[in-house]
Structure 1
Amino acid sequence: MRTKRAPRPLPPAEDHAARFARQREGDRMAVAEDYVELVSDLLREEGEARSVEIARRMGVAQATVAATVTRLQRDGLVATKPYRGIFLTEAGEAMAASARARHDLVVRFLLSLGLDPATAEEDAEGLEHHVSDATLAAFARFLKERQE
């Protein structure tokens, strides 16, 4: 028979607000990271990254891609060239590499827990943007210790 656990108390309001602020920032960054990572993948695999292909792969309208690309340009992560598609800036390349490394680490961690590859990939898509650097470091330590 399971024992009932006492509900956890609410944290102080400032701590609670800070947690939600980090979550919102994670959501905002997730979009940018997903886009630059996809642009990087398309450039590597297909030699070009066009809005129509990004929309198809992200499952969004081309207008959504256009608005997001405009924001990414403003943030210095991508550049566009007429009739040539979307390219990453140096900052965009760095963000894509970082996002890819985090994604790969989370997938490897989830696989080490016994998840199947498809589930690990799907779950990593959300987790990679919302775990702290401390948690990622713990994942890496766990994987390293498991190998030894």
Structure 2
Amino acid sequence: MQEPSEPSASETQSLPETVLVDPERHVESFRQAREARRSELVEDYVELIDDLIGDGGEARQVDIAARLGVAQPTVAKMLKRLCEDGFVQQRPYRGVFLTEAGRRLATQARERHRIVERFLCTLGVSPETARRDAEGIEHHVSAETLAAFRAFVEGRQET
């Protein structure tokens, strides 16, 4: 792990001092982080299911478990939740299929991942590290920050 470097003079002038924020703002920050963690798994599953269907025409529980590095009972539990939430349909002896809502969610998650990954690469992060880091960041970034990432990347491409 790298040691943090000391901020430059210009960075210390632009960054506010660390101050305990008021309770309402603090609660909202933590609420947003908890919500992102809850939706993270759902988004990862539907995106992977969409990828598997696109690649091989089907998404099987065994393939999902292998790709996520989890046990099949863990996948079965999540698939039950995704069915209840209206994102997937399971058909006996056939596999898992996304509903229209599941396809929309997979597309949104993939787009967020793509923007974050491109932003990190634009900053000089290696493509492999950017891919891995984007996997976590994509779920926690706000719409405002994502728009800023997109504008930054698009602005850099024009020059």
TM-score by length of 2: 0.88
The residue number in structure 2 matching 1:134 is 144
Paired-residue identity, %:
53
Separation in structure 2 between the aligned mates of residue 54 and residue 67 of structure 1, nearest angstrom: 12
Who is 2:87 aligned against? 77
In the other structure, the counterpart of 1:98 is 108
Name which of 24, 32, 36 aligns with 1:26.
36
Inter-partner Cα distance in structure 2 for 1:14 and 1:74? 33
RMSD: 1.5
Q: Is there any run of 5+ residues in structure 2 with no aligned partner, and where? A: 1-5
Q: Deviations over 1:13-36 (max 9, x none)?
A: 121111111101101111000000
1:7: how far off? 5.8
3-state SS of paired residue (1:21) = helix
Whole-Å separation in 2 of the counterparts to 1:22 and 1:98:
18
- Distance in 1 (CA, whole Å) between partners of 2:154 and 2:49 is 31
Which aligned runs of 4 or more in structure 1 are off by greater than 3 angstroms?
A: none
Give the number of equivalent residue pairs: 146
How far apart, in 1, do the equivalents of 2:62 and 2:27 lie? 38
State how far apart, in whole Å, the 1-side matches of 2:100 and 2:43 are.
14
